[in-house]
Amino acid sequence: MTREYKIAVVNGDGIGNEIVPAGVSVLNATAEKHGFKLNFDNFSWGAGHYLEHGEFMPSNGIEQLKKFDAIFFGAVGLPMVDDTLPAKDYTFKVRTDLKQYVNYRPVKLFSGVESPLRNKTEEDIDFVILRENNEGEFVQNGKILYPETPNGVAVDTSMVTRLGVERIAHYAFKLARKRRNKVTNVTKSNTLIYTLGFWDMIISEVAQQYPDVEYSKMYIDNASASFVLKPECFDVILTTNMLGDILSDLGGAIMGSLGLGGSGNINPEKEFPSMFEPIHGSAPDIAGQNIANPIGQIWSAALMLEHLGEMDAAKDILDAINHTTSKGNLTRDLKGTATTSEIADSIVNHIILKELANH
């Protein structure tokens, strides 16, 4: 019986309308080669939808998404829409309502891409940032009081729960066992002594259940410096919602471009669909020009297939990305001249040619 998966496709805004179709073309080629079927349904949600309908997604949007095995998402946001809305009304809503509590952001130097870090190689830059995705600093649990008066005050409250920390900590240690057996907790508990002190305490308790995994704690300031000076010291990084958001952009930068970064918002139990997206934004300034780097989106496609259990297919996509970059086939953000569609075609062709070579 043919393996079939239902995928919700949300291009979003800006370059999402170019890079998501590029990713879908790679997914189709990979599915055909590996003998499974992907059934795509497209949703025109995002800031453009908000301008037309006054909402980023319909009120029953989450219920619609629950019927799918995964969500393949581009990026959301437009200059004429308040930039506090996309996260609140789309991204955070999906991540929270579908219990996607793991934000999985791999950092890897691809062949043929020069890192801004001189003398650092593909062996040095290869780690995963796990960002707690439902709690922490981004819960938007706050208030502004008397904003127009001299005694105006604003408060945001970070939320850390035992359940939330335990579940992502277990995920981190289990992932480390599949990699190089090392977890680094990136924290700032020397100043945020209550929330992150509690975070550290719980992770330390979980660490004792994985004696075979090396565990260490590093403050965010030291970790930021180490990304630049010694990225080879990292394997699996476990950190909070906001710290992980910042670190993963730094991770994209040391890879050579944020355009290369893929990610997954994962519900490990598969009770709800997980959502896969590049780490960058909608970049409306370059939309429609066929110059956006689709590799972050295509890498997200590989992460999606891995989550669905199609491990060989996911590996094929990563190999094809590496083959494409190794030939110097790079987009403008990497000082190349290749277009969005040329990169996608190169990756598709490598997958197809590899299949033909195996027959």
Q: What is the pLDDT of residue 357?
A: 54
Lowest-pLDDT range of 60-69, 188-197, 293-302, 345-354:
345-354
Q: What is the pLDDT of residue 231?
A: 97
pTM of the model: 0.94
* pLDDT tens profile 33-78: 999 999 999 999 999 999 999 999 999 999 999 999 999 999 999 9
Q: Is the pLDDT of residue 354 over 70?
A: no
Q: Strands 262-266, 102-108: parallel, antiparallel or unpaired by DSSP?
A: antiparallel
* pLDDT tens profile 126-147: 999 999 999 988 888 889 999 9
Q: What are the distances in angstroms from CA 93 to CA 133, 291, 338?
A: 11, 30, 35
Q: What is the pLDDT of residue 358?
A: 59
Q: What is the pLDDT of residue 261?
A: 95
* pLDDT tens profile 260-317: 999 999 999 999 999 999 999 999 999 999 999 999 999 999 999 999 999 999 999 9
Q: What is the pLDDT of residue 27?
A: 98
Q: What is the pLDDT of residue 349?
A: 94
Q: Strands 153-156, 142-145: parallel, antiparallel or unpaired by DSSP?
A: antiparallel
Partners of 182 in the β-ladder: 214
Shortest CA distance to 45 belongs to which of 69, 60, 66, 61?
A: 61
Shortest CA distance to 207 belongs to which of 168, 178, 244, 158?
A: 168
